[in-house]
């Protein structure tokens, strides 16, 4: 996946409909497909309003020799679909954290949000679907 490190200001529409990222893709003579995915360095900072960095990622149509790419997937995650406005997405992070603790999993600091239904699809925030993912591993006994 192609990616771009950017500042995050809790403006989801600007982060998802991302002119800077679009211009970057076009500068590489490429196009993108599939959902927008954003990686946050710390979901706890994000929940507390302290996150100011993000990595936007998306699949390219063509192989891109000149582009910096990142591998995505190939690991175990706790995943939960958040339905509705991004203003309440912290509730979904709490569900994942509580589930991991209850089931004896450790989780990484970073998280991913995959925007399944978003501003590209609808203006009705109640219909947004966002998959929230956090890498996990089982406690060792």
CATH assignment of the domain containing 113:
3.20.80.10
Is the torsion defined by CA of 113, 34, 18, 62 positive or negative? Answer: positive
Q: Residues 10, 132, 53, 44: what is their CA dihedral angle, to the nearest 10 degrees?
A: 90
Q: What is the pLDDT of residues 28-79, one digit of tens each?
A: 999 999 999 999 999 999 999 999 999 999 999 988 877 788 888 889 999 9
pLDDT value for 100? 95
The neighbour count for residue 60, using CB atoms within 10 Å, is 17
Q: What is the pLDDT of residues 114-127, one digit of tens each?
A: 999 999 999 999 99
Domain that holds residue 63: 2-138
Residue 141 pLDDT exceeds 70: no
pLDDT value for 102? 94
Q: pTM here?
A: 0.93
The neighbour count for residue 5, using CB atoms within 10 Å, is 11
The number of domains in the chain is 1
């Amino acid at each position: 996946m192609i990616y771009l490190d950017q500042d995050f200001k809790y403006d989801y529409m600007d982060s998802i409909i991302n002119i800077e990222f679009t211009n970057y893709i076009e500068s590489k003579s490429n196009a993108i497909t599939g959902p927008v995915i954003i990686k946050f360095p710390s979901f706890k900072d994000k929940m507390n309003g302290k996150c100011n960095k993000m990595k936007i990622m998306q699949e390219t149509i063509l192989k891109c020799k000149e582009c910096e790419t990142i591998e995505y997937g190939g690991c175990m995650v706790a995943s939960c679909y958040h339905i509705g406005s991004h203003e309440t997405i912290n509730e979904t992070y709490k569900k994942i954290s509580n589930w991991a603790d209850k089931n004896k999993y450790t989780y990484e600091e970073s998280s991913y949000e995959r925007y399944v239904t978003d501003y590209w699809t609808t203006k009705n925030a109640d219909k947004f679907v966002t998959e929230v993912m956090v890498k996990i591993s089982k406690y060792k006994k």
